Amino acid sequence: MEIIDINIGYYFGAFLAALWIMLPAYVPNPIAVLVGGGYPIDLGRNFFDGQRILGDGKTYRGFIIGVGSGILIGILQIFIQTTYGLNSLPNHTLRSVVLLALGALTGDLIKSFFKRRIGIEQGERWQIADQYDLVIGAFLFTAIFNYNWLITNVSLVIGIMILIITPILHRLTNALGYLLGMKRVPW
Ligand code: CTP
Ligand code: MG
């Protein structure tokens, strides 16, 4: 009888690598939810179609503190890596960390722009886009401004792992935020 050899260690390693890479991109959104409020980025203005450009859900405070926290987490990761020499994990750099955090919340902003254009109200859910906006933003930014880092650190398996774990983590954090009363809706 053949034994199907599924290498658990290999996939677990890819899972850890995916988490490690995406941490600076995962942190900004929940932090924005926690601290958000104040001036909306579109300053309350409407687009040509009479709808808000972005809506009240995208604020300066959420954006700046969100991106800042993603960068801080990344700096902590770089510190841990250089101190303990975690060579089996992908290596972050200041540049990768900034691009991942900034790209994640910029992806979120652009998604809201499109949500308003197709008539989805602020806070309403838009399946798939709500879950992958940060991945698209983070990867677009690193692909444009740090291509070498991207291709040396994100292998195909890690990339697929990111696509699998992102919606799961998104669901879990949103459900948690809702249960703790920090989010108005569980998505
Ligand atoms: N938030 C913020 N600034 C951002 C992103 C988020 O202040 N740049 C805060 C807002 O309080 C927002 C909450 O986090 O209401 C949830 O974020 P998100 O789900 O991304 O926005 P929505 O309110 O759902 O708006 P949209 O429909 O435009 O996605
Ligand atoms: Mg939302």
Residues 6 or more apart in contact with residue 180 via CB below 8 angstroms = none
* pLDDT per position as a tens digit, 83-92: 998 888 999 9
Q: Write the residue with the smallest CA distance to atom 15 of ligand 1.
A: 57
pLDDT confidence of residue 184: 82
Q: What is the mean pLDDT of residues 22-35?
A: 96
Residues 6 or more apart in contact with residue 68 via CB below 8 angstroms = 101
Q: What is the mean pLDDT of residues 2-17?
A: 81
pLDDT confidence of residue 7: 78
Q: What is the mean pLDDT of the chain?
A: 94
Structure-token pair, residue 22? 């995406």
Q: Quick one: which ligand is closest to 58's CA?
A: 1
Q: What is the mean pLDDT of residues 6-10?
A: 79
d(CA 166, CA 22): 9
| Residue 115: pLDDT over 90 | yes
Ligand 1 atom nearest 185 alpha carbon: 24
What per-residue string of b and e applies to 157-177 under the rule 16 or more CB within 10 Å gives b? ebbebbeebbeeebeeebeeb
Q: What is the mean pLDDT of residues 168-174?
A: 93
Ligand 1 environment, Cβ below 6 A? 32-33, 36-37, 55, 57-59, 62-63, 105, 108, 112, 115, 122-124
Q: Could you tell me the pTM of the whole model?
A: 0.94
CB contact at 8 A, 21 and 149: no
Q: Which of 43, 52, 59 is the best mutation target for the ligand 1 pocket, counting ligand atoms within 8 Å of the beta carbon and taking the most?
A: 59
d(CA 9, CA 17): 12
Q: Write the residue with the smallest CA distance to atom 16 of ligand 1.
A: 33
Residues 6 or more apart in contact with residue 100 via CB below 8 angstroms = 21, 22, 24, 25, 70, 74, 138, 141, 142
Instruction: Enumerate the domain spans of the chain.
Output: 22-172
**Token pair 């983590």 is at which residue?**
169
Instruction: Tell me, rounded to whole angstroms, the distance of Cα 122 from its chain centroid.
Output: 19
Torsion of CA 58, 72, 21, 150, to 10 degrees: 80
Q: Write the residue with the smallest CA distance to atom 24 of ligand 1.
A: 123
pLDDT confidence of residue 143: 98
Ligand 1 atom nearest 123 alpha carbon: 24
Work out the angle at residue 51's Cα, subtended by the Cα atoms of residues 48 and 53, and round it to the nearest 5 degrees.
Answer: 75
| Residue 104: pLDDT over 70 | yes
pLDDT confidence of residue 8: 76
pLDDT confidence of residue 183: 82
Q: Write the residue with the smallest CA distance to atom 10 of ligand 1.
A: 57
> For the purposes of burial, counting CB atoms within 10 Å of the CB of 81, is it exposed (0-12), middle (13-18) or buried (19 or more)?
middle
